[in-house]
């Protein structure tokens, strides 16, 4: 099989991670964490982030151990053909489901907040089509896309964070560990589940110019994402207070509604915020969809991943339409997220342990490059 050109830089890889992690989940994040530990929400977010931060290290180490192979390929090398086939199929299925629910969640946000008379099917299929068309491009373009939209993700979050300082009250954040937190662990797991997109690093590493920078890229990419998460939760809870936040479906969106630009340039920010947020949701969708189709291509040993893009669309759309309403959707997302943690964190960790025990190691990237030049 032809290897993709090694063109992706560490910065592009880091940007890919951050923009994958920041997505539609951020809109409901303060609600989940406040439900878990009321005023301790920032702490829950931080802990959830740390869990994911540590949890994805084995995957990156695995990728660096097999720098020129994709996840499907090296898991086969580690645990043999059929067990790895099942594992990889689970990963692919999980990301197909994740793609579906991301698009559904955003579809719901759009029809609730701006396009109230549009059926949810339309907004979902539009987002899915957009992602499907974009996954037909190669991995280099994929990284370029993430790199390009990276500033678009930073600006609205930082802007809203800064503008909400006007209404913020530190008292809302105390006590830091929350008032008798009951579902702390659950909240941590829910937050960690929002970082599951980081799995995309497994696709990026084989195309990186210097795979040995993957850990560094992972560190910075996750750190920026985590910092933004904590910032959003701090801003929301400090403005609304834990009690009020738990009554809001998408507290981050409400935060955007509550802030306005100085000098009244734009009277309300929520529609503009949502419009810009389309790009960040798109990058998240793109990552999980791209992961699904490229790993499918590897699994079925096809030359091109393009045909899977449109082939998967009906399935993903069908899954997205399964939940009957928003509350059912969020209940499903929570369960899927828990399963996802096993698939994206526990399974790669196991693989790494087995790889170390069996002393399996991939071809070194430089050696392969030199072989190519001969």
- Answer for the pair 164, 259: CB distance below 8 angstroms, yes or no: yes
CA separation for the pair 328, 237 (Å, rounded): 25
Q: Enumerate residues 147-166 that contact another protein by CB under 8 A.
A: 147-149
Nearest C-alpha neighbor of 227 from the set 55, 37, 45: 45
Which residue's CB is nearer to another protein, number 10 or number 173? 10
CA separation for the pair 350, 328 (Å, rounded): 32
CA separation for the pair 337, 282 (Å, rounded): 19
∠ CA 169-173-174, rounded to 5°: 115
CA separation for the pair 85, 76 (Å, rounded): 7
Among positions 3, 118, 247, 327, the unique one binding another protein when judged by CB under 8 A:
118
Among positions 4, 137, 350, 364, the unique one binding another protein when judged by CB under 8 A:
137
Which residue's CB is nearer to another protein, number 79 or number 145? 145
CB of 299 vs another protein, minimal distance in Å: 25
Residue 11 touching another protein (CB under 8 A): yes
CB of 117 vs another protein, minimal distance in Å: 10
DSSP per residue, 189-247: HHHHHTTGGGGGHHHHGGGBS-GGGHHHHHHHHHHHHHHHHHHHHHHHHHHHHHHHHTT
Which residue's CB is nearer to another protein, number 12 or number 33? 12
How many residues bind another protein, per CB under 8 A?
Answer: 33
Map residues 261-300 to x or -, x wherever contact with another protein holds by CB under 8 A: ---xxxxx--xx-xxx-xx--x------------------
Map residues 86-115 to x or -, x wherever contact with another protein holds by CB under 8 A: ------------------------x---xx
CA separation for the pair 91, 88 (Å, rounded): 5
Please give the residue ranges that form the binding site for another protein (CB under 8 A): 7, 9, 11-12, 110, 114-115, 118, 123, 126, 130, 133-134, 137, 141, 144-145, 147-149, 264-268, 271-272, 274-276, 278-279, 282
């Amino acid at each position: 099989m032809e290897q993709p050109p090694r063109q992706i830089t560490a910065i592009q890889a880091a940007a890919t991670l951050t923009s994958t992690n920041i997505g539609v989940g951020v809109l409901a994040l303060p609600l989940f964490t406040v439900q878990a530990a009321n005023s301790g929400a920032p702490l829950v977010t931080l802990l959830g982030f740390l869990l994911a931060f540590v949890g994805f290290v084995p995957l990156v180490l695995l990728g660096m151990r097999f720098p020129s192979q994709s996840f499907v390929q090296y898991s086969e090398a580690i645990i043999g053909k059929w067990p790895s086939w099942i594992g990889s199929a689970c990963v692919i299925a999980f990301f197909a489901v994740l793609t579906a629910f991301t698009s559904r969640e955003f579809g719901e946000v759009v029809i609730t907040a701006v396009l109230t008379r549009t059926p949810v099917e339309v907004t979902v299929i539009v987002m899915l089509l957009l992602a499907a068309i974009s996954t037909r491009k190669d991995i280099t373009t994929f990284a370029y896309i993430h790199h390009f939209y990276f500033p678009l993700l930073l600006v609205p979050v930082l802007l809203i964070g800064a503008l909400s300082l006007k209404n913020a009250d530190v008292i809302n954040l105390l006590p830091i560990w929350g008032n008798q937190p009951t579902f702390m662990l659950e909240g941590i797991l829910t937050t960690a589940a929002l970082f599951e997109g980081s799995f995309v690093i497994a696709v990026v590493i084989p195309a990186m110019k210097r795979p040995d920078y993957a850990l560094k890229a992972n560190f910075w990419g996750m750190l920026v994402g985590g910092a933004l998460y904590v910032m959003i939760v701090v801003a929301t809870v400090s403005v609304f207070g834990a009690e009020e936040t738990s009554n809001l479906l998408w507290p981050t969106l409400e935060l955007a509604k509550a802030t306005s630009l100085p000098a009244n340039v734009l009277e309300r920010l929520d529609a503009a915020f949502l419009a810009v947020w389309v790009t960040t949701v798109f990058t998240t969708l793109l990552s999980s969809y791209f992961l699904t189709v490229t790993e499918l291509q590897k699994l079925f040993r096809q030359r091109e991943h393009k045909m899977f893009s449109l082939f998967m669309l009906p399935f993903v759309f069908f899954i997205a339409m399964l939940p009957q309403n928003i509350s059912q959707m969020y209940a499903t997302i929570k369960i899927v997220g828990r399963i996802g943690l096993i698939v994206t964190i526990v399974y790669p960790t196991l693989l790494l342990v087995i790889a170390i025990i069996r002393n399996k190691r991939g071809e070194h990237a430089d050696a392969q490059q030199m072989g190519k030049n001969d």
